[in-house]
Structure 1
Amino acid sequence: MIEEWLTRAERRVKAVNEIGFKRLLEEGNAHKSRLVELGTSGAADGARVTHLNGRIEEFLHYVKTRMNRSHRIQAFFQSAQTELNLLYVTNVSEKTVIIVPVRAPGEVSCNV
């Protein structure tokens, strides 16, 4: 059962979002805990439990790495969007300044 989950999870990880990553981590940690229980009870094949535990740990490390990369990419895009908005506001402000008619000193306008 755990081996089947790991095989499916390894295929699923390529198409998941943030929530999917978190779910995979939760499921993986639950299966890892179950393997520890099986290993300490002595009812299961120790070599197989150790092998599966290693595969799950490797998979969880991969998921955490992907999550970290995803967070960094999202932060980059947020920063770029903020920078773009600042450039847009600056550009609009400059155009507004250019559009405002130049008045002679002391000239009063009723339209302002």
Structure 2
Amino acid sequence: GKYEFIKEGLKRRLVIKNCSIKDDGKYVCRLLDQEVKAELFVSPDVKFVKKMEDKICKEKETISLECKATNPHKHAFKWLKDGEPINVDSTRYEIVQKGEAYKLIIK
């Protein structure tokens, strides 16, 4: 199974196999009315292999921003402007994803 419980003398150990984002969270070990807690933070296996470059464009010009990232588990990818999600329904923006390449075209 995914979880393995190991006893070593007085120690108890929880082994999580093939750890994923779904395993992220708070864990508790309880004995009678006492408990100890720990939080597990799982880093996604995403890595940017090509970062975006600063660009200069003229008003009314179409421009594209592109980056490349490894994303084997297909985590959700978002484009933001000034910290706010870009409206993907707008005709002003086009989002293209091909393999590891993520491109935002601004019209």
TM-score bracket, shorter-length normalisation: under 0.3
Q: Which has the higher contact order (CA 8 A, sep 6+)?
A: 1
When Rg is computed on C-alpha atoms for both structures, the one with the higher figure is 1
Point out the structure with the larger strand share.
Answer: 2
Q: What is the TM-score of this pair, normalised by structure 2? A: 0.26
